[in-house]
């Protein structure tokens, strides 16, 4: 397993791969090291759950995807975990 470390101005990514399609959770970080997002990929496609966080570590949003398409329950939060909105999207 090879570890790649990519740095961008405000985000630090750690991606693990075996020279094949990206599978599993990709975690991005704020510059101070706190987790910014956790996104699940299957064969290089955004699939299943994705969670974004505020810099204080509290959830910002939780979304579910089915082959890149937003599908299922979506939750958006204010910065201190108070629920802002909750809705469901169903693909036909």
Give the pLDDT score at 77.
96
Distance CA(2)–CA(20), nearest Å, equals 11
pLDDT at 79 over 70: yes
The whole-number average pLDDT for the span 60-88 is 92
| Structural domain boundaries in the chain | 2-89
What pLDDT score does 15 carry? Answer: 47
Among residues 91, 22, 81, 32, which one has the least CA distance to residue 53?
81
At 13-53, the pLDDT tens digits run: 444 444 556 788 899 999 999 999 999 988 888 888 899 99
User: pLDDT above 70 covers what percent of the chain?
Assistant: 76
Strand blocks (E) in the chain: 2-7, 12-17, 24-29, 35-42, 45-53, 59-66, 69-70, 72-77, 83-89
């Amino acid at each position: 397993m090879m570890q790649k470390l990519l740095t961008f101005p405000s985000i630090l990514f750690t991606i693990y791969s075996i020279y094949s399609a990206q599978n599993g959770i990709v975690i991005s970080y704020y510059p101070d090291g706190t987790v910014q997002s956790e996104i699940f990929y299957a064969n290089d496609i955004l699939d299943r759950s994705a969670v974004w966080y505020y810099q204080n570590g509290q959830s910002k949003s939780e979304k579910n995807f089915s082959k890149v398409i937003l599908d299922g329950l979506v939750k958006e939060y204010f910065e201190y975990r108070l629920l802002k909105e909750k809705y469901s999207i169903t693909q036909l």
